[in-house]
């Protein structure tokens, strides 16, 4: 038997839950299909839990726009829904004179992105704010913060459920078909079933490309490549020596081994990154020496034996080694030609910060389909 539902959201990570909440608040019938037996067990619980300000992202990118809009929406949301968070602030540190140009570049880029509250710090101010950090200059980002990502997901889910959404755990989408009167999803798990949906949002994170490819009728040329990059975190034993998040000036695409502090006061260092070819969260302890070196670069007081293995997280990427940094990819009917379908690819950092803004974007993409020709793939605007 084929069940019927108005909207299916595939994936109960922070982004899928934000989308489900948004659609449910509009009075739509929503079912969230989650492969695992709990929500948020992948990238959404293996990250830095930072509310990013929106400093680094290229002007005009989705990351820049959705991070800045998402940050404001997220602070408001956390206040209104009692989600634990703290506007803790972040210090970007230049270790030597050569890195001061990097700080200037960040300030300029932040301004272009609409982040106008960054403040330059001289060495004296830097020492006063964070005595343990070594550097010749810094930039303070007061709007950077931290959030309890599990609490946030619970709040999104709770609100979605209050508005009629349901969460189906242990329900992996294994295939699907685009038909004239909807999209049929085949769901595996203990009680396999098929569901005919008016709208489908593919928010399957690391698995989003595989899910899109498994739906017959989605033009394969619109599905980007899949790449994975793993990041490791080490935790610091004992008292936190910092009051803020500390980031060195980045020397590569990602932001370098930085300091985050969670709401319980635990200091974490990371993530570093390396490319992997499948999802495997195992912790590689051989990275320890490289971590000590990277951290002592800006925190020379780090004692031998103070680091403990923490956890790993994996970035879903659409570009691979040696290729330019990617943007979020959000494809609606205008891009792939399938009415009622939105695919999200490469939702890496700052996806947590941007979750509410991504949900708005998905809603717009679904709304815009009314203007597009119904299920006429030949008239689609392919990327």
Ligand X SMILES: Cc1cc2nc3c(=O)[nH]c(=O)nc-3n(C[C@H](O)[C@H](O)[C@H](O)COP(=O)(O)OP(=O)(O)OC[C@H]3O[C@@H](n4cnc5c(N)ncnc54)[C@H](O)[C@@H]3O)c2cc1C
Query: What residues make contact with ligand X under the rule CB under 6 A?
Result: 10-16, 33-36, 40-44, 47-50, 52, 172-173, 203-207, 211, 231, 271, 313-315, 347-353
Nearer of residues 41 and 127 to ligand X, judged by Cβ: 41
User: Do the beta carbons of residue 211 and residue 173 sit within 8 Å?
Assistant: yes
Give the integer Cα–Cα distance in Å for 359 and 280.
28
Nearer of residues 93 and 314 to ligand X, judged by Cβ: 314
Question: Shortest approach of ligand X to residue 239 CB, angstroms?
Answer: 23
Residue with CB nearest ligand X? 351
Question: Shortest approach of ligand X to residue 146 CB, angstroms?
Answer: 8
Nearer of residues 137 and 351 to ligand X, judged by Cβ: 351
Q: Please enumerate in sequence order all residues whose Cβ is within 8 A of that of 123, keeping only pairs 6 or more positions apart, or say none.
A: 135, 136, 137
Taking the chain, what is the end-to-end CA distance rounded to the nearest angstrom? 36
Question: Shortest approach of ligand X to residue 223 CB, angstroms?
Answer: 14
Nearer of residues 50 and 93 to ligand X, judged by Cβ: 50
Question: Shortest approach of ligand X to residue 214 CB, angstroms?
Answer: 8
Chain Cα centroid distance, residue 272: 16
Nearer of residues 134 and 349 to ligand X, judged by Cβ: 349
Nearer of residues 48 and 141 to ligand X, judged by Cβ: 48
In this structure, are strands 2-10 and 329-331 parallel, antiparallel, or unpaired?
unpaired
Nearer of residues 69 and 204 to ligand X, judged by Cβ: 204
Question: Shortest approach of ligand X to residue 376 CB, angstroms?
Answer: 27
Closest CA to 8 of 206, 161, 166: 166
What secondary structure does DSSP assign to 123-191, as a single string?
A: HHHHHHH-TT---SEEEEETT-EEE-HHHHHHHHHHHHHHTT-EEETT--EEEEEEETTEEEEEE-SSS
Structure tokens at 204: 């399957």
Structure tokens at 269: 């260092």
Question: Shortest approach of ligand X to residue 11 CB, angstroms?
Answer: 3
Question: Shortest approach of ligand X to residue 294 CB, angstroms?
Answer: 15
In this structure, are strands 215-216 and 173-179 parallel, antiparallel, or unpaired?
parallel
Question: Shortest approach of ligand X to residue 355 CB, angstroms?
Answer: 7
Helix (H) or strand (E) holding 307: strand 307-317
Give the integer Cα–Cα distance in Å for 236 and 234.
7
Nearer of residues 43 and 369 to ligand X, judged by Cβ: 43
């Amino acid at each position: 038997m084929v069940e019927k539902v108005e909207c299916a959201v595939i994936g109960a990570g922070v982004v899928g839950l934000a989308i489900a909440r948004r659609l449910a608040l509009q009075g739509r019938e929503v079912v969230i299909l989650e492969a695992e037996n709990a929500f948020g067990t992948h990238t959404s619980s293996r990250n830095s839990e930072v509310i990013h300000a929106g400093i680094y992202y290229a002007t005009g990118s989705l990351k820049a726009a959705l991070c800045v809009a998402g940050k404001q929406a997220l602070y408001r949301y956390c206040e209104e829904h009692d989600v634990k968070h703290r506007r803790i602030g972040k210090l970007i540190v230049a270790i030597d004179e050569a890195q001061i140009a990097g700080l200037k570049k960040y300030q300029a880029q932040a301004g272009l992105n609409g982040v106008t509250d960054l403040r330059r710090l001289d060495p004296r101010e830097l020492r006063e704010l964070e005595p343990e950090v070594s550097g010749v200059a810094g930039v303070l980002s007061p709007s950077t913060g931290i959030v309890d990502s599990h609490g946030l997901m619970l709040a999104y889910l709770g609100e979605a459920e209050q508005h009629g959404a349901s969460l189906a755990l242990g329900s992996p989408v294994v295939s699907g078909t685009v038909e004239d009167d909807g999209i049929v999803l085949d769901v595996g798990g203990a009680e396999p079933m098929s569901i005919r949906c008016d709208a489908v949002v593919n928010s399957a994170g690391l698995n989003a490309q595989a899910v899109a490819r498994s739906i017959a009728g989605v033009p394969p040329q619109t599905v980007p490549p899949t790449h994975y990059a793993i990041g490791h975190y080490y935790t610091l034993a004992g008292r936190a020596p910092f009051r803020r998040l500390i980031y060195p000036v980045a020397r590569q695409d990602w932001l370098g081994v930085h300091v985050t502090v969670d709401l319980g006061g635990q200091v974490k260092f990371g993530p570093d990154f390396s490319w992997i070819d499948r999802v495997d969260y195992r912790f590689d302890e051989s990275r320890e020496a490289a971590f000590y070196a990277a951290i002592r670069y800006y925190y020379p007081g780090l004692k031998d034996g103070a680091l403990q293995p923490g956890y790993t997280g994996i970035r879903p990427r659409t570009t691979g080694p040696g290729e330019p940094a990617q943007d979020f990819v959000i494809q609606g009917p205008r891009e792939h030609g399938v009415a009622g379908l939105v695919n999200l690819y490469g939702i890496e950092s700052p996806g947590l910060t941007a979750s509410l803004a991504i949900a708005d974007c998905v809603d717009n993409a679904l709304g815009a389909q009314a203007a597009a020709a119904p299920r006429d793939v030949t008239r689609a605007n392919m990327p």
